[in-house]
């Protein structure tokens, strides 16, 4: 019986201690509070437990209030200047740089330049017909700098002399020589070039010009040298010896091809009327080759792109600096 | 303007109204954070983070006690801050400086005793689990009602009672060990 009493008292102690905290705060129901008080009056251990809990709570309540050293109010976040523009600007700069790289690559590798006669031009030539008195030759702008670095603007005609069917004046001079020609307006108002083998054979109207025909085999030979075609001189000399309308005669890249060039100033006709005149036969088909000069459009594009990249780059850097300054200012504001 | 109006304006994006709420509750929030962490710098960081978080989530506040809501966010921010400190401890928690505001009327001896006592109490708090610590701090140090504590902790009244009971008992044992609280029988053992 004594044991039963002790067990029940122990249970009562444990039950009391579970709610002592609530009793300290007066958060027990009247019945619960009465039972706790009833038990406390007979149990020294639980009474001490209560007192120590009260002391603990009192200690906690005595803790001083602390004061923060600053306010926690939020500062309005200023949007960074140019926040929306920046990604577009970066994208545009990247795009322009990429285009510029492509343009440079195309320029340096000469991807668009035609290095020699192509089938396309032969086909074009066929369209001119074999029985015509003259041929319309596509003109291609060609700028050549002389020794004084003065750029002469010319139109180049690439004329193959691969067969006897090429115009007589050219045909008879395979391997090098001089062709005479007259440059003047054609009846249709086009630029007309009349080629002959000899100076005597040319028309007296217009200016008679000497055109050298040089093949690759003797590209270092100047047909204008005083001692004759055997004298070796650099091709550059030929270019440099030209004055006025007469520009140059330079070899193309096969020994069957010659290239005529005429100084035309600023006017660059799309086609030139080519009239063969001479003793040899003038019939037969005529093949006309042109050197494609597509990279001509590339330069202005390159310059425009360089300018664009520079402008965009400067704008990007300026904006970045502005934003950085704004950020630094914001951080220091927050520190304050 | 009462809290409800300020909260509504804040929910419409008015930062000035929200800052008025900050001014009303920042001392309370800071005190809770300080008792949770025991370090002024960490408490400031946690409090600031709590108000940032409150501003971000003000739209989700669906009535009730704003005070309880802010304290809940503060308790969470303090726990996060504690985790960060444990990962990258800057100063060991035991040696954190504590400098309660001095009251001119007390003697230097009294001040020293009180300061030491406060340090012990603060250390005792750090021995509690997060839930017990929040309950004790809100109820016994900040004097919130059981109902407010329950709302701030998102739990039932019964849970608050049991957390308080266990937290206080645990603290009492610690205080007895540190001889801040005496019990006759334990003292006589």
The beta-carbon neighbor of B15 closest among A49, A63, A74 is A74
Do A207 and A322 sit in the same domain of this protein? no
Could you give the CA distance from residue A33 to residue A37 in angstroms, rounded to a whole number?
Answer: 6
ipTM computed for the complex: 0.85
Listed by start position, the domains of chain B span 1-97, 102-189
How many domains does one find in chain A? 3
Determine, yes or no, domain membership for A109: no
Q: What is the DSSP annotation of A216-262?
A: GGGTTB-TTSTT-TTSB--HHHHHHH--TTEEEEEE-SSTTEEEEEE
Q: How far is B80 from chain A (nearest CA, A)?
A: 18
Residues A28 and A130 in one domain: no
**B171 contacts A60? CB cut-off 8 A:** yes
Q: What is the pLDDT of residues A13-22, one digit of tens each?
A: 888 988 899 9
User: What residues of chain B lie within 8 A of the CB of A17, using their CB?
Assistant: 169
Structural domain includes residue A160: yes
- Bridge partners for A210 per DSSP: A180
On chain A, the residues whose CB falls within 8 A of the CB of B40 are 66, 69
CATH match of B1-97 with 3.40.50.300: no
Contact call for B22 and A63, based on CB within 8 A: no
Is residue A76 a part of any domain in this protein?
no
Kindly tell me if the per-residue pLDDT of A174 is higher than 60.
Answer: no
Please provide the DSSP assignment of B96-154 as one string. ----PPP-TTS-HHHHHHHHHHHHHHHHHHHTS-HHHHHHHIIIIIS---HHHHHHHHT
One domain, residues A262 and A170: yes
Of B47, B141, B182, the CB nearest to A63: B141
Confidence band for A163, pLDDT divided at 50, 70 and 90 = very low
Closest-CA residue to A168 (of A120, A140, A135) = A135
Q: Which of A49, A65, A74 sits opposite B51 (nearest CB)?
A: A74
For B140, which of A44, A57, A64 is closest by C-beta distance?
A57
Distance from CA of A63 to the nearest CA of B (A): 6
Containing structural domain, residue A303? 85-101+299-335
Q: Which residues of A79-109 are buried (b: 16+ CB within 10 A; e: fewer)?
A: eeebeeebeebeebbeebeebbeebeebbee
Q: Å from A336 to nearest chain B CA?
A: 14
Q: Could you tell me if A231 and A281 lie in one domain?
A: yes
Which residues of A are less than 8 Å from B31 in CB distance? 65-66
CB B137 within 8 A of CB B32: yes
Q: Is residue A111 part of a domain?
A: no
Does A311 lie in the same domain as A266?
Answer: no
pLDDT digits (tens, 9 = 90+) for A19-61: 899 999 998 999 999 999 999 999 999 999 999 999 999 989 9
Which CA distances in Å does A136 have to A132, A261, A262, A270, B100? 10, 15, 15, 9, 104
| pLDDT exceeds 60 at position A100 | yes
pLDDT under 70 in chain B at which residues? 89-106, 184-189
Report the residue of chain B nearest A59, measured CA to CA: B121
Q: Do B141 and A61 touch (CB under 8 A)?
A: yes
H/E stretch holding A295 reads none
For residue A125, what are the contacts with CB-CB under 8 A and spacing of at least 6? A135, A285, A286, A287, A288, A289
CATH of domain B102-189: 1.10.10.10
pLDDT single digits (tens) B135-159: 999 999 999 999 999 999 999 999 9
Residue among B165, B178, B189 with most chain A CBs within 10 A, to mutate: B165
């Amino acid at each position: 019986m004594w044991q039963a009493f002790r067990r029940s008292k122990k249970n009562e102690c444990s039950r009391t201690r579970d709610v002592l905290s609530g009793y300290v705060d007066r958060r027990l129901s009247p019945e619960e509070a009465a039972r706790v008080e009833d038990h406390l009056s007979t149990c020294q251990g639980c009474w001490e437990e209560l007192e120590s809990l009260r002391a603990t709570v009192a200690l906690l309540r005595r803790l001083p209030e602390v004061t923060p050293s600053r306010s926690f109010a939020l500062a309005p976040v200023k949007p960074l200047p140019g926040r929306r523009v920046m990604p577009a600007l970066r994208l545009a700069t990247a795009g322009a740089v990429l285009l510029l790289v492509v343009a440079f690559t195309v320029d340096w590798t000469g991807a668009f330049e035609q290095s020699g006669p192509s089938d396309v031009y032969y086909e074009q030539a066929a369209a001119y017909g074999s029985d015509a008195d003259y041929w319309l030759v596509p003109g291609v702008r060609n700028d050549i700098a002389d020794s004084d670095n003065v750029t002469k603007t010319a139109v180049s005609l690439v004329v193959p002399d691969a067969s006897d069917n090429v115009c007589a004046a050219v045909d008879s001079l395979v391997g090098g020589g001089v062709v005479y020609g007259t440059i003047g307006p054609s009846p249709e108002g086009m630029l007309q070039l009349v080629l002959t083998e000899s100076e005597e054979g040319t028309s007296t109207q217009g200016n008679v010009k000497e055109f050298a025909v040089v093949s690759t085999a003797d590209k270092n030979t100047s047909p204008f040298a005083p001692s004759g075609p055997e004298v070796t001189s650099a091709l550059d000399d030929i270019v440099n010896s030209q004055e006025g309308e007469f520009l140059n005669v330079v070899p193309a890249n096969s020994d069957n091809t010659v290239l005529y060039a005429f100084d035309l100033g600023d006017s660059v006709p799309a086609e030139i009327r080519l009239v063969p005149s001479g003793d040899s036969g003038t019939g037969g088909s005529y093949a006309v080759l042109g050197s494609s000069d597509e990279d001509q459009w590339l330069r202005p594009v390159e310059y425009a792109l360089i300018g664009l990249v520079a402008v965009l780059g400067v704008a990007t850097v300026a904006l970045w600096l502005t934003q950085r300054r704004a950020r630094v200012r914001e951080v220091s504001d927050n520190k304050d | 303007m009462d809290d409800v109006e300020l909260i509504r304006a804040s929910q419409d994006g008015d930062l000035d109204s929200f800052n008025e709420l900050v001014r009303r509750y920042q001392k309370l929030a800071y005190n809770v954070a300080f008792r949770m962490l025991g370090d002024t710098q960490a408490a400031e960081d946690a409090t600031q983070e709590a108000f940032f978080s409150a501003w971000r989530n003000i739209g989700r506040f669906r009535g009730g006690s704003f005070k309880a809501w802010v304290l809940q966010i503060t308790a969470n921010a303090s726990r996060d801050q504690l985790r960060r400190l444990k990962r990258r401890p800057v100063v060991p928690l035991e040696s954190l400086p504590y400098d309660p505001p001095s009251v001119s009327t007390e003697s230097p001896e009294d001040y020293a005793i009180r300061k030491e006592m406060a340090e012990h109490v603060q250390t005792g708090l750090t021995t509690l689990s997060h839930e017990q610590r929040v309950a004790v701090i809100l109820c016994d140090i900040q004097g919130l009602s059981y109902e407010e504590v329950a709302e701030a902790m998102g739990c039932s009244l019964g849970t608050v009672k049991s957390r308080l009971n266990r937290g206080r008992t645990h603290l009492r044992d610690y205080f007895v060990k540190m001889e801040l609280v005496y019990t006759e029988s334990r003292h006589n053992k």
